């Protein structure tokens, strides 16, 4: 679905760009087309950064953005069809290409609207809830400092394994560690079959338990096992100055700032996972990884603010266009 939206955004922006070169087009309409395209790209990017089970929640946003864009492309197609015949061959060919581009763009949008139909997505969501399978969980220990005590590494391995077991995962395999410093990958799998939504809830409990231990927050009722294993893991981290721990979808990063320990606990979003996969150095340097996480969090905040601003601008342009059309009709009433 993401590639389909990218194609629509690309073609809609191309249509907007080419139409701006043609005299006689309604500039308000072109401006509205441009804003709607940017808005569609923004809400689609937000959805791609969510966990798979959460994408359904954003389907209505994407569907509405597609609907607005479709209306504008339809108006532009109508303008192209009703344009005066061009006396020059080159100009005639150009209008023909514009017509074909608008038609292709409209077909893409119509097909995408069917895909993002909320009623269809609700059925798809129900199917996802019924589908259960054992979930793979990748676990990582990254200790970049040298001259580490073997006992400290062993305690950390054991605490991390216990934490994964409390969350319902069992050990499967491991890679050979990289020594000097210490870097090692493990693979766990859920003991029971579960949905992606249920797995997300398990990770949320684990993350909350780690945060509660580090921030000295009260333990939630019924999560004693989570609290104990989280406490053991945080205590095991106390023996090292810098560390990167991945426990499935949970990321724990520790560094030292002015001789004081600094720990963050994050849920790994698809975008963060992509960045770490593209650049392995992030998993070897806690300070660089913390900078990456901070920059992504800032991006999400700016994206939310930018989306709201574009919605407000798009709404104002739409209101101005409607007002201008009403005034034009009042001055030049259509003869009956």
Q: E strands, the chain, where?
A: 136-143, 169-174, 182-190, 243-247, 250-257, 260-267
**What interhelical angle do 27-48 and 59-81 show, nearest 10?**
150
Instruction: Return contacts of 192-196, CB within 8 angstroms, 24+ apart.
Output: 192/134, 192/168, 193/132, 193/133, 193/134, 194/132, 194/133, 194/134, 194/135, 194/168, 195/53, 195/128, 195/129, 195/131, 195/132, 196/51, 196/52, 196/53, 196/128, 196/135
Give the contacts of 193 (CB within 8 A, at least 6 positions apart). Answer: 132, 133, 134
Kindly state the tokens that stand for 244. Answer: 């990167």
What per-residue confidence (pLDDT) applies to 244? 96
| pLDDT confidence of residue 292 | 92
**What is the structure's pLDDT at 10?**
82
CA 336 – CA 329 distance, rounded (Å):
13
Contact 116, 63 (CB under 8 A): yes
Q: 3-class DSSP state for residue 104?
A: helix
Rounded to two decimals, the pTM is 0.54
End-to-end CA distance of the chain: 47
The three-class DSSP label of residue 192 is: coil
CA–CA dist 15, 110 (Å, integer): 16
- Report how far Cα 310 is from the mean position of its chain's Cα atoms: 19
Contacts of 68 by beta carbon, 8 Å cutoff, 6+ apart: 36, 39, 314
Q: pLDDT tens track of the chain, all 336 residues?
A: 556 777 888 888 888 888 777 766 677 777 777 777 777 777 666 555 443 434 444 566 677 777 777 887 888 777 777 765 444 445 556 667 777 878 888 888 777 776 665 544 444 443 444 467 888 999 999 999 888 888 999 999 999 999 999 999 999 998 888 877 899 999 999 999 888 788 889 999 999 999 888 777 666 655 788 999 999 999 999 989 999 999 999 999 999 988 889 999 999 988 888 889 888 899 999 999 999 998 888 766 665 554 444 445 544 544 554 555 555 555 454 433
Q: What is the pLDDT of residue 160?
A: 96
CA distances to 149, 255, 257 from 260, rounded to whole Å, are 20, 8, 5
Backbone Cα Rg of the chain: 27
Six-digit token pair at 188?
């766990």
Q: What is the pLDDT of residue 334?
A: 41
Domains recognised in the chain with CATH numbers = 2-128 (1.20.1440), 136-268 (no CATH)
CA-to-CA distance for 206 and 249, rounded, in angstroms? 10
Output the pLDDT for position 103. Answer: 81
Is the C-alpha dihedral spanning 320, 326, 328, 330 positive or negative? negative
Q: Specify the pLDDT at position 301.
A: 65
φ, ψ (nearest 5 deg) of residue 85:
-55, 135
With CA atoms as reference, report the closest residue to 210 among 239, 187, 232. Answer: 232
| Residue 46 three-state SS | helix
């Amino acid at each position: 679905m993401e590639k389909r939206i990218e194609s629509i955004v690309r073609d809609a922006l191309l249509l907007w760009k080419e139409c701006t070169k043609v005299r006689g087009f309604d500039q308000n309409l072109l401006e509205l087309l441009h804003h709607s395209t940017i808005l569609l790209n923004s809400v689609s990017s937000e959805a791609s950064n969510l966990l798979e089970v959460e994408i359904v929640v954003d389907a209505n946003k994407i569907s509405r953005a597609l609907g607005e864009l479709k209306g504008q492309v339809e108006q532009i197609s109508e303008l192209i069809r009703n344009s005066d015949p061009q006396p020059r061959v080159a100009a005639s060919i150009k209008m023909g290409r514009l017509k074909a581009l608008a038609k292709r763009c409209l077909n893409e949008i119509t097909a995408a609207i069917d895909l993002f139909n909320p009623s269809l997505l609700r059925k798809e969501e129900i199917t996802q809830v019924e589908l259960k399978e054992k979930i793979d969980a990748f676990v990582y220990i990254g200790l970049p400092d040298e001259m580490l005590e073997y006992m400290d590494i062993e305690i950390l391995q054991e605490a991390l394994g216990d934490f994964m077991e409390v969350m319902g995962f069992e050990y499967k395999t491991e890679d050979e560690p990289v020594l000097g410093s210490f870097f090692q990958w493990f693979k766990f799998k859920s003991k029971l079959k579960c949905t992606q939504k249920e797995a997300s809830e398990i990770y949320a409990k684990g993350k909350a338990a780690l945060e509660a231990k580090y921030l000295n927050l009260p333990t939630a009722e019924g999560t004693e096992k989570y609290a104990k294993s989280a406490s053991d893991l945080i205590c095991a981290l106390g023996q090292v100055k810098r560390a990167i721990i991945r426990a499935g979808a949970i990321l724990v990063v520790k560094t030292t700032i002015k001789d004081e320990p600094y720990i963050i606990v994050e849920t790994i979003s698809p975008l963060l996972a992509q960045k770490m996969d593209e650049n392995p150095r992030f998993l070897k340097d806690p300070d660089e990884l913390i900078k990456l996480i901070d920059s992504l969090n800032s991006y999400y905040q700016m994206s939310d603010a930018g989306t709201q601003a574009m919605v407000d601008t798009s709404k104002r342009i739409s209101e101005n266009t409607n007002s201008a059309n009403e005034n034009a009709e009042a001055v030049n009433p259509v003869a009956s």
